[in-house]
Structure 1
Amino acid sequence: MDIAIGVPIEFKREIEIVLETPRLYIRELSVNDLMELYAICSDEVLMQFVGDGKPLSIEQVREWLSVTENNYKTKGFGNYAVVNKSDNEMIGYCGLVYSKNIDKIELIYALKKQYWNLGLATEAGAKMIEFGLDRIKLDEIYASIDPENKASENILGKLGFSFAFGQNDEFGYSTHYYRITAKQLPADSR
């Protein structure tokens, strides 16, 4: 089956919910999410603090989905769809990915603009940290942000991350790296 812009779609099995919070489902991404993920990743305002600060093309999103599906199989984690429980709408993504730039696992997240300032990124991020440190047994998780992105800096603070270091990222942009360790995870979540 082809969608309007000629991108072949292959339908897969139902995707199981990986994680759940009071307001969100966090589930695996699939090729069926291509257009929804593209809508998020092609938004100039949303993407200004992600990667090189430029929106992604449909081809880049398709490749990212392919890498993500491979990561589920080979690493046991990756990037996930964040879905609003109230209407089942995919409102963003959140996940754990390998950063070549620092040779560490990083927390990533982005939500559609209309879902900003509602605590949803913090809610999804907290569940993903618990998943990474408790279930996958990572020793630490990093997160990288543009120093100008005060909203993400606040989210990372709420999640328990501490400033680790600053350096240029793979695109040459000044970047602040934050870190959280398994020892920082509350005992009741282990």
Structure 2
Amino acid sequence: MQKLIFETERLIIREVENADLDSLFAICGNDELMKYTDNGAISKELTKKWIEVSINNYATKGYGMSAVIYKANMEFIGYCGLVYSKDVNDYELIYAIRKEYWGQQLTTEMAAQMLWFGFETIKLKTIFTSIDPNNLASKKILLKLGFTELYTKDGEFGNPTIYYEKSSL
């Protein structure tokens, strides 16, 4: 059964489930969509494992990586969530959406609501995020959402990464 996490004007954010494997892999296995992630595109097997980890995170922590559904057509268009990051030893905002949905402010919409969820529902004090220095679209989103750039260093998989933080009010 699908469990709603929250809704925005145009999006439904819900817990990811095993039935989402093909839709999630269409994103996670896509070289273009994953070119700015530290580890790049991943296999269908690793995508399945990520769903399993997320389901366990919901059961043990109450949150994790979530499915993003576009209300207008009820399609799975991406993922977002709060996940534990070894790099910052804390929780990190993650997100990605299918290319045909770029440029519509959907990422800003879902990320802003995920931040609210993290601060207000989960009661996190700080949320981190990290991006590839060449990901100018994400940098613009993060600055719009009030993130502060902390530093640049090599990420978990050895690629240059800019780290950001945002504290609750």
TM-score (norm 2): 0.98
One-letter code aligned to 2:146 = G
d(CA) in 2 for partners of 1:41, 1:83: 16
Q: What is the match of residue 11 of structure 2?
A: 24
Q: Rg larger in 1 or in 2?
A: 1
User: Normalized per residue, which structure has more strand?
Assistant: 2
Q: What is the match of residue 129 of structure 2?
A: 143
Identity %: 47
Does residue 174 (structure 1) correspond to residue 160 (structure 2)? The answer is yes
Does residue 61 (structure 1) correspond to residue 47 (structure 2)? The answer is yes
Q: What is the match of residue 49 of structure 1?
A: 36
Q: What is the match of residue 90 of structure 1?
A: 76
Gaps (5+ residues) in structure 1?
1-13, 184-190
d(CA) in 2 for partners of 1:51, 1:17: 29
* Match 1:34 to one of 15, 21, 28: 21
Contact 2:88-2:128 at 8 Å conserved across structures? no
Gaps (5+ residues) in structure 2?
none
TM-score (norm 1): 0.87
Contact 2:149-2:164 at 8 Å conserved across structures? yes
Between Structure 1 and Structure 2, how many residues are aligned?
169
CA RMSD of aligned residues (A): 0.8
Deviation at 1:51, TM superposition (A): 2.7
Q: Which has the higher contact order (CA 8 A, sep 6+)?
A: 2
Does residue 155 (structure 1) correspond to residue 141 (structure 2)? The answer is yes
